[in-house]
Amino acid sequence: MCSTLDFIPRRSEERGHADHGWLKTYHTFSFVMHPDPKHQQYGPLRVMNEDRISPLAGFGTHPHREFEIFSYIVSGELEHKDSMSNVEILTRGHIQLTSAGTGISHSEKNANRHGVPLHFLQIWSIPSQPRLTPAYYTRHFTDEMKKDRWARVVAPADAEGVNKEREDEGTPAPVNSGLTMYATILSSGKTLEKELSGRKVYVHVIQTSSGHENAPQGARVKLSDGAGGELVLGEGDGAYVAVNSSSPKLLVENVSGEDGPTAEILLFDMDAN
């Protein structure tokens, strides 16, 4: 039986890495001081940085344009301020999406005053069309909404079930890219199936247990296509997944062993551009 999916690992220790004291970060794709010509972009996905920020530190006001920028909060408190007069503090379960369009400025800081670090993923995608009017959205998903199931947390603005309310609970944030992002908190021994609609897929296992050490620890996750293709990932690892057939299915299993840790996983189902 021929494999319907091709898996190429993107190991945690191979990502771009920087430790600035106040910021510890890993870059899946080429970024600023860590250029990587082999990992520039995948489909519309251009940036995925896994960041930990010390209390009362963060990124000061800076500009963006022509990117869809979304933040997935793992733990801690993210204070967001921008040139569209949006000011708020986001916590675990929040998705914050800024469509930068023709241009915005914003700041992102750890608002916690009690010594708690902020852990979040900063993700950028290429918009499907240029010169969009800037917009801002927040969504919230409880752990229960993601426990052993796929939660659709970001989806194309014109997709079914997507609204353009500024904030909402349990509905996907609208993105102007050919990209749908799913999240799950998968228990050890559990398997989820995902029917794929795009031609490119990226899977990332969030580094929840092991901090920012190089060697992945914590949960272990197996990707397979049910036809012989498979790959095991640790926390902080990712995988490029190329689709070789129509109507493929991806199996995602937490193989951490009996009483092993849960795995928090992001899956991007994307157009091939």
Question: Average pLDDT for residues 193-211, to the nearest whole number?
Answer: 91
Out of 40-44, 145-149, 212-216, least confident range: 212-216
Asked if residue 159 lies in contact with residue 232, where contact means CB atoms within 8 angstroms, the answer is: no
Question: Average pLDDT for residues 253-262, to the nearest whole number?
Answer: 95
Question: Average pLDDT for residues 253-269, to the nearest whole number?
Answer: 96
Pairing status of strand 104-110 against strand 135-140: unpaired
| Confidence grade of residue 1 (pLDDT, cut at 50, 70, 90) | low
Out of 63-67, 76-80, 165-169, 217-221, least confident range: 217-221
**Calpha distance 79→62 (Å, rounded):** 14
- Residues 82-109: pLDDT tens digits? 999 999 999 999 999 999 999 999 999 9
Q: What's the pLDDT at 217?
A: 67
240: tokens are 């490029």
**Calpha distance 73→119 (Å, rounded):** 7
Residue 214 has pLDDT above 60, yes or no: no
Residue 212 has pLDDT above 80, yes or no: no
- Residues 31-45: pLDDT tens digits? 988 899 999 999 999
Average confidence score pLDDT of the chain? 95
Give the angle 29-268-30 at the CA atoms, nearest 5°.
5
Q: What's the pLDDT at 272?
A: 76
**Calpha distance 215→21 (Å, rounded):** 20
Burial readout 78-90 (b: 16 or more C-beta within 10 A, e: otherwise): bbbebeeebeeeb
